Each structure stands twice: as C-alpha cells, then as structure tokens.
Structure 1
C-alpha cells in the first residue's frame, strides 16, 4: 500500500503535504471487507497530513499527532498565567481546544489519518476568520485566536456564534474542510455584496463585513418568500463557500429519501 502526494506547500523551513493512501486491503472479516469495497466504489480514500521541519516549528491542533521521526521536541507554549487565561478564553468562546502544541526541531511529523478533506492557505501578514473546527495545523508564526462578531444580529441570527476562530500572521495554515476541496467556491469581492441563505460560508479574509439581514425590506415579504434571514458579506476580500455541506448532512440523517424534496435552508443548520 502506497501513499501519493495530492497537495504540497513550502514555507520557511517547513513543508506541509497531504498524502492519500491507495485502497485499503487489510480487512480480516466480511463486514469490514464489504465496507472497504463500497468505499473503493465511492472513491473514498484515507488521507494524512505530513509535516517536514528543518530547524523550524509548527503548531498543531491538540490530539492531531500520529507519529514523528527526528530531533523534534514538543512545547505546549502556555505563556504563563496571562497566556493560559487567553487560551482558556479562546477555547471557551470558539469551541477550539485550549492548547495548540508546538513541535520544534528537524524531522518528520505525521498527523492522524482520516477520511477528511484538507486545503492550505498562505498568509502574508494578514488574517482569516474561519468556522470552528477548520484549523488543523500551521507554522508557529501564525497566531490562533478568537474573532468577535461586530454586531448582535451576526451573533444571534447567523448560526456562527458570538466568536469565530481568527488565524493571523505570516505563514502556511492547513485547514480541515467539511467537503472536498473542489467543492469549495472561493468568491473574490471587490467592494461587492454576497448574500448566503445558510451557514455554509466557512472562511473570509480581507475587509469583509459580516452581518445578518432580512431577505427583503419587510417582515411580511420575508415570511412569504420562505427565506427569512440571510448571511451578508460586504466589502473587499475573499469568502469561501461550502454549498454541498448541507447535502452531506441530509444524506447522513435521512439518506437519499430525504433528497427527493430538498426545500431550502431557511438559515438553519440541518
């Protein structure tokens, strides 16, 4: 069984790579063999993130480490009582784990294999706001923190919560996506407006203002249209959408039968 590189990005003495396994063939019973057969038919493959350090350091999601090789040490990097308090606050409001362990040195790090989906983005002294759970790994130069919604409507009606995860600095970030990479739509806005009926905008960067607004000017029109509130993104920057995310949720809950009358999201999570 081999692994093939499907995505690679190099930073400052750090290389991130997404490896994809060939089909798994190690089943010892009929039940798991059938499962693997259907996975092969559906082209579902196991993936694993690999990190190569050359006298450098990387920050990981807690619990992501699978194994490592070389002269590499782990540092929880609490930063004293002030740092601990900041991490506890960020964890509480974003849902992210408290500690992002830092591994420094030279060698290879392999993260936990999964059937998930990954993408990478390189930040150049900028920041991105992402949904909870998207952060997976980054260069140590990236700061992982919390971004507060700027108005009450965004927090109460946008299904995103009062806080989201902010990634800021210069370096590479690895994201664990809710859908395959080629199903992500990346919109570049140039002093424009993007309106989304649902909570499937997973990332934004640049000078983008996020608000929640009625789909029409009157409450009666909103009620009769069946749309209710929309997530609105205004400004200049980039917004990532995962429009197929709700489809996978519906399939997991009700199977193909639930897709015969898909209806609308009405700005609610499935």
Structure 2
C-alpha cells in the first residue's frame, strides 16, 4: 500500500507478522514522464498485519481494524486471571479476561497507534517463557499460552494482592507494544553470577526463569525518603531482560 512503509517482518509456522509505518504526503512533483509523483514521510503511527496461512492469532481486544480473506473471529475466555491489558484490573480480582482469536486464510489488520511494535519469537523450550509489562502484550500466535504470573515474593506489596504480570509460554511468534522503537530497546543477559537493579517503568519483558524481588532501593524509611527513590526490581538468575531506558512513565512500581 502506498500509504504504508514496511518496517519489520517475521514468518512463523502458518503465520506472518508485518509491522507497517503509516506515511503522509509532504510534496507533489512532476516526474520526467509527466506523471504526478508523491514524496512521503512516516507520520509516527504504526499498524500490524497478521497474514494467516494455516495458523491463528490472538489479539488484544479493541485492537482489530479489519480483515480480508476467509477469516473467522471468535471471542475466547482466557484462563482464570487472564491478563490482557484492558482486563488487568479484573485479573487482580480473579475474574477471567477475553481475547479475540482469528483463524482461516487471509490478513488481519490492527488499528493505527503511535506506540511502537516489536516482533519476537519463542522456541517453546523450558525457560523460554516471557513475563511482560502489563501494557506490552498486543498479539500472539494461538499456539502460545496466555497466562498471569504472580510474584509471590512480594505478595501484599500492592493492594494486598502481590504483583501480577502477563506471561507468554509455548512455541510461536508474538508482538509486543513498546513505548520506544526497537533500536532503543536494551537487552541485558544475566549469567547467574550477576544481578540487575531496575526501575519497573523501564522493563518491557524478561525471562520467566529469572528471580525477581520488588523492594525499596535502600533499606529503611529514612534512607528511602532521602534517596527519593521508590520501589525497584532486584533481578537475579539466568535469562534476558528487555529494557526501555529512553522512556519514562509513572507506574505502580515507582509509587
């Protein structure tokens, strides 16, 4: 499509994800053959195309724009404590969330947004599960399982219920919504002999195999008040952490 520019593509088993940047005309000019030519630039909005050719996709409710082809849509109830971002509040009450599942042959397009998207892949191997920021999930191949991870080590820290986050497991490709472009995402690999201290605002996703603890940066009420810092994540073990250090946005982890 002339009003879009492909910025990322990844093929999976029976499914292809494409991220497109929307463009707009900045100048018209006459070409050598007399035809009117357009000069286009990206306008800061992005959309995701899911091409189905044998597999299905689960999409965040409200993200669907249109589909083309022989596509069937079904709203499915996720496991108890499902996490989709528009239902994260109900996850805290133990109620179920919903996802829209698309199957068939054809293409599904999502609503344009000014958020950035990142395509990732999971092998399905043990330890390859990912914990996501509660606003990061966007869509996933329906061969993957959607669930909720509860940090039992910090139960009671937030509203007496601990901290719940989305969890993706199984084999397939998926898309996460990021506040920054993929070029600004920093990936830190922990070997098991080192650790990471990070503000929760900056964590896009991380390996479920890691040990995570939420606590004040410095011990003691007086010291915490002097430092001006709130709660931070203490991460150890073996795995990967995806950070967005160029983004700042207040979250519960810094309250």
The alignment's TM-score, normalised by the length of structure 2, stands at 0.78
Q: Which has the higher strand share?
A: 2
Root mean square deviation, CA, Å: 3.2
> Is it true that 1:239 corresponds to 2:241 in the alignment?
yes
Could you say if the C-alpha distance between residues 228 and 268 of structure 1 is closer, same or farther in structure 2, counting changes exceeding 3 Å? Answer: closer
Could you say if the C-alpha distance between residues 24 and 268 of structure 1 is closer, same or farther in structure 2, counting changes exceeding 3 Å? Answer: farther
Q: Name structure 1 gaps, 5 residues minimum.
A: 26-39, 251-264
Contact 2:144–2:171 (Cα < 8 Å) also in 1: yes
| TM-fit CA distance, 1:198 | 4.8
Distance 2:73 2:189 in 1: 38
> Is it true that 1:127 corresponds to 2:129 in the alignment?
yes
Within 5 A, what are the aligned runs for 1:79-228? 87=82, 91=88, 92-93=90-91, 98-125=97-124, 126-152=128-154, 156=157, 162-191=163-192, 192-216=194-218, 220-227=222-229
Contact 1:93–1:162 (Cα < 8 Å) also in 2: no
| Deviation by residue 1:212-245 (Cα, 9 ceiling, x = unmatched) | 2343455554444443543211111011112222
3-state SS of 1:151 partner: helix
Could you say if the C-alpha distance between residues 88 and 209 of structure 1 is closer, same or farther in structure 2, counting changes exceeding 3 Å? Answer: closer
Q: Which has the higher helix share?
A: 1
3-state SS of 1:114 partner: coil
Distance 2:43 2:132 in 1: 25
Q: Name structure 2 gaps, 5 residues minimum.
A: 27-40
Q: How many residues align?
A: 231
3-state SS of 1:199 partner: helix
Contact 1:23–1:45 (Cα < 8 Å) also in 2: no
> Is it true that 1:53 corresponds to 2:70 in the alignment?
no
Contact 2:79–2:147 (Cα < 8 Å) also in 1: no
Contact 2:188–2:242 (Cα < 8 Å) also in 1: yes
